[in-house]
């Protein structure tokens, strides 16, 4: 395990296997990760651990990479597939926590919570005024969602409760959506979204999906929310589009060059920033640990893990 995990799930593993936990907080490169994993049968990895081909090549006993995250963009999935090594993730258990955080960001940025908090702490609040800190109402507005998977749909359900219209990308095959959402081509979705919230995985197709041209297609005063993966959004372009006043604001939980943030965003009061905390509740982080450990236990027992992303061959390398 490349980090200690919250909750008691590790004790289950420790009762049956030799468990090695990395406690250093420095970032691993593929060579250092391969050295750490060494001859282990299983690795529990974090979302920034680069599980690239080098790791698979140099860890001959590896049967499963159990990512402690739902996103698996840090893992070379093709290489795992080629070698018959299981890759698993932690879906479902973090859906509500992440949707709640997306909504924390939506409400925080549209109601200017950061500015209000700063005003109070610096003693600048000198009494109620009709025009003090006016925000943007949500009722009747359109919430555009890119990535209508588990988390996107949970964000949509909350949006419906807030009286918003929901729109998402048209899908091939025109499957019925639950909760129902208007489906539109990307350009129309952008042009009609008062709030645009990203929930798609990071893949070669979604990298910089929201580039400068696309950001400028959003209506004037729109808000951009990203709790998915940083590189889906061109952060430098976002800084430029905010600087010339086209957008109402942005709220980010994830960053293109995480943990760095584009300096053009740091100075702005119309930007709300969180440190990749979508799943960060006590309950969710221990449920994620339980699921990651359950994935490992299953593979060590020769069973199918509960949350497979890439199917392994259970050690049958013939
Ligand atoms: C994930 O699971 O992919 C999140 O980014 C962290 O919980």
Task: Tell me, yes or no, whether 84 and 101 share the same domain.
Answer: no
pTM for the full predicted model = 0.96
Nearest protein Cα to ligand 1, atom 6: 69
Task: Tell me, yes or no, whether 173 and 54 share the same domain.
Answer: no
Rounded Cα distance between 252 and 261, Å, is: 10
CB of 232 within 6 A of ligand 1: the answer is no
Catalytic residues, which ones? 229, 258, 276
CATH number, domain of 33, equals 3.40.50.720
Task: Tell me, yes or no, whether 248 and 125 share the same domain.
Answer: yes
pLDDT of residue 318: 40
Where in the sequence is the domain holding 81, given as residue range(s)? 9-93+280-310
Ligand 1 nearest-atom number relative to CA 72: 3
Nearest protein Cα to ligand 1, atom 2: 69
Q: How many CB atoms lie within 10 A of CB 67?
A: 26
The SS3 assignment for 169 reads strand
Question: Would residue 3 count as lying in a domain?
Answer: no
CA–CA distance from 183 to each of 143, 168, 173, 215, 222 (Å)? 12, 5, 12, 19, 19
Task: Report CA(132)–ligand 1 centroid distance (Å).
Answer: 37
Task: Tell me, yes or no, whether 127 and 117 share the same domain.
Answer: yes
Question: Would residue 318 count as lying in a domain?
Answer: no
CB of 71 within 6 A of ligand 1: the answer is yes
Contacts of 232 (CB under 8 A, 6+ apart): 146, 198, 200, 202, 206, 207, 208, 209, 210, 226
Task: Tell me, yes or no, whether 109 and 62 share the same domain.
Answer: no
Rounded Cα distance between 53 and 51, Å, is: 7
Ligand 1 nearest-atom number relative to CA 228: 5
pLDDT in tens, the chain (318 residues): 999 999 899 899 999 999 999 999 999 999 999 999 999 999 999 999 999 999 999 999 999 999 999 999 999 999 999 999 999 999 999 999 999 999 999 999 999 999 999 999 999 999 999 999 999 999 999 999 999 999 999 999 999 999 999 999 987 776 789 999 999 999 999 999 999 999 999 999 999 999 999 999 999 999 999 999 999 999 999 999 999 999 999 999 999 999 999 999 999 999 999 999 999 999 999 999 999 999 999 999 999 999 999 999 976 544
Question: Would residue 239 count as lying in a domain?
Answer: yes
Rounded Cα distance between 181 and 156, Å, is: 8
CB of 201 within 6 A of ligand 1: the answer is no
Q: Count up the domains in the chain and report the number.
A: 2
Task: Report CA(254)–ligand 1 centroid distance (Å).
Answer: 10
Question: Would residue 284 count as lying in a domain?
Answer: yes
Count each helix (H run) and each strand (E run) in the chain, helices first: 12, 11
Probe target for ligand 1 pocket from 46, 203, 279, with the most ligand atoms within 8 Å of CB? 279
Contacts of 127 (CB under 8 A, 6+ apart): none
Nearest protein Cα to ligand 1, atom 4: 69
Task: Report CA(47)–ligand 1 centroid distance (Å).
Answer: 7
Task: Tell me, yes or no, whether 256 and 133 share the same domain.
Answer: yes
Beta bridge partners of 167: 144, 182
Question: Would residue 294 count as lying in a domain?
Answer: yes
CB of 94 within 6 A of ligand 1: the answer is yes
Task: Report CA(144)–ligand 1 centroid distance (Å).
Answer: 21
Question: Would residue 70 count as lying in a domain?
Answer: yes
pLDDT digits (tens, 9 = 90+) for 170-216: 877 767 899 999 999 999 999 999 999 999 999 999 999 999 999 99
Contacts of 199 (CB under 8 A, 6+ apart): 102, 145, 146, 147, 148, 149, 151, 152, 155, 227, 228
Ligand 1 nearest-atom number relative to CA 280: 7
Nearest protein Cα to ligand 1, atom 1: 69
CB of 228 within 6 A of ligand 1: the answer is no
Task: Tell me, yes or no, whether 126 and 269 share the same domain.
Answer: yes
Task: Tell me, yes or no, whether 160 and 67 share the same domain.
Answer: no
Task: Report CA(209)–ligand 1 centroid distance (Å).
Answer: 19
Question: Would residue 77 count as lying in a domain?
Answer: yes
Task: Tell me, yes or no, whether 161 and 212 share the same domain.
Answer: yes
Question: Would residue 2 count as lying in a domain?
Answer: no
Contacts of 189 (CB under 8 A, 6+ apart): 144, 146, 167, 168, 169, 196
Task: Report CA(94)–ligand 1 centroid distance (Å).
Answer: 8
Task: Tell me, yes or no, whether 153 and 266 share the same domain.
Answer: yes
Rounded Cα distance between 133 and 244, Å, is: 21
């Amino acid at each position: 395990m490349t980090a200690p995990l919250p909750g008691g799930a590790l004790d289950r593993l420790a009762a049956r296997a030799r468990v090695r936990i990395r406690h250093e907080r420095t970032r691993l490169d593929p060579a250092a990760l391969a050295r750490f994993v060494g001859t282990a049968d299983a690795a529990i990895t974090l979302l920034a651990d680069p599980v690239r081909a080098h790791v698979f090549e140099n860890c001959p006993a590896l049967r499963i990479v159990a990512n402690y995250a739902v996103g698996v963009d840090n893992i070379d999935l093709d290489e795992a597939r080629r070698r018959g090594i299981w890759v698993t993730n932690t879906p479902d258990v973090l859906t509500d926590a992440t949707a709640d955080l997306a909504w924390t960001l939506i409400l925080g940025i549209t109601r200017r919570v950061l500015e209000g908090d700063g005003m109070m702490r610096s003693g600048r609040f000198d009494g109620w005024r009709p025009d003090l800190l006016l925000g943007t109402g949500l009722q009747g507005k359109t919430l555009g969602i890119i990535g209508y998977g588990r988390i996107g749909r949970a964000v949509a359900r909350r949006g419906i409760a807030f009286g918003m219209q929901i729109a998402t990308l048209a899908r091939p095959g025109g499957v019925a959506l639950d909760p129902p959402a208007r489906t539109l081509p990307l350009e129309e979705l952008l042009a009609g979204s008062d709030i645009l919230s990203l929930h798609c995985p990071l893949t070669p197709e979604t990298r910089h999906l929201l580039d400068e041209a696309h950001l400028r297609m959003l209506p004037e005063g729109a808000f951009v929310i990203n709790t998915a993966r940083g590189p889906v959004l061109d952060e430098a372009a976002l800084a430029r589009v905010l600087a010339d006043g086209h957008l109402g604001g942005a709220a980010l939980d994830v960053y293109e060059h995480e943990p760095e943030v584009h300096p053009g965003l740091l100075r702005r009061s119309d930007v709300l920033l969180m440190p990749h905390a979508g799943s960060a509740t006590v309950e969710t982080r221990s449920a994620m640990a339980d699921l990651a450990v359950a994935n490992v236990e299953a593979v060590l027992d020769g069973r199918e893990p509960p949350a497979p992303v890439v199917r392994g061959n259970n050690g049958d390398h013939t």
